[in-house]
């Protein structure tokens, strides 16, 4: 049995490479990539937190102000927030069926993720630049 017999897409969909939702698999791949990156960044985050345990406030500020630690923390925050935003957006699109509540929930999701990212990035940069 050939692969063409198993392919349920129309010839036009095969040419365009699009599925039933008329869009590609961008969110699917972004979710998977941020998930894999999140595993590595979570391990780095835990290592950093373990290194901070039992230290004085001045030592913690000095370690968190290090450029390498700040970059790892920024990558962790941005990756996690983006992963959270995509995941919650998919949940809302799948399970909220009425248009107005869906629109409000999607706006609230975007606002919340943006606020979390902004506050976290600001805190990391403030520690890093010592302002």
Residue-wise pLDDT tens digits, 73-99: 999 999 999 999 999 999 999 999 999
In a domain, 8, yes or no: no
Domain of residue 118, CATH code: 1.20.1300.10
Per-residue H/E/C for the chain: CCHHHHCCCCHHHHHHCCCCCCCCCHHHHHHHHHHHHHHHHHHHHHHHHHHHCCCCHHHHHHHHCCHHHHHHHHHHHHHHHHHHHHHHHHHHHHHCCCHHHHHHHHHHHHHHHHHHHHHHHHHHHHHHHCC
As for how many domains the chain has, the answer is 1
In a domain, 108, yes or no: yes
Q: 75: domain range?
A: 25-129
In a domain, 17, yes or no: no
pLDDT tens digits, 15-37: 665 555 555 578 888 999 999 99
Mean local confidence (pLDDT), 42-58 = 95
In a domain, 50, yes or no: yes
In a domain, 92, yes or no: yes
């Amino acid at each position: 049995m050939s692969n063409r017999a198993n392919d349920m897409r129309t010839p036009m969909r095969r040419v365009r490479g699009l599925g039933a939702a008329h869009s590609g698999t961008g969110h699917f791949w972004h979710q998977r990539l941020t998930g894999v990156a999140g595993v590595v960044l979570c391990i780095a985050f835990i290592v950093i937190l373990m290194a901070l345990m039992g230290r004085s406030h001045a030592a913690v500020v000095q370690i968190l102000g290090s450029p390498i630690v700040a970059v790892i923390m920024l990558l962790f925050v941005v990756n996690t927030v983006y992963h959270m935003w995509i995941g919650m957006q998919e949940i809302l699109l799948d399970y909220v069926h009425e248009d107005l509540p869906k629109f409000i929930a999607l706006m609230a999701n975007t606002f919340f993720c943006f606020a979390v990212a902004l506050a976290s990035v600001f805190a990391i940069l403030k520690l890093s630049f010592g302002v």
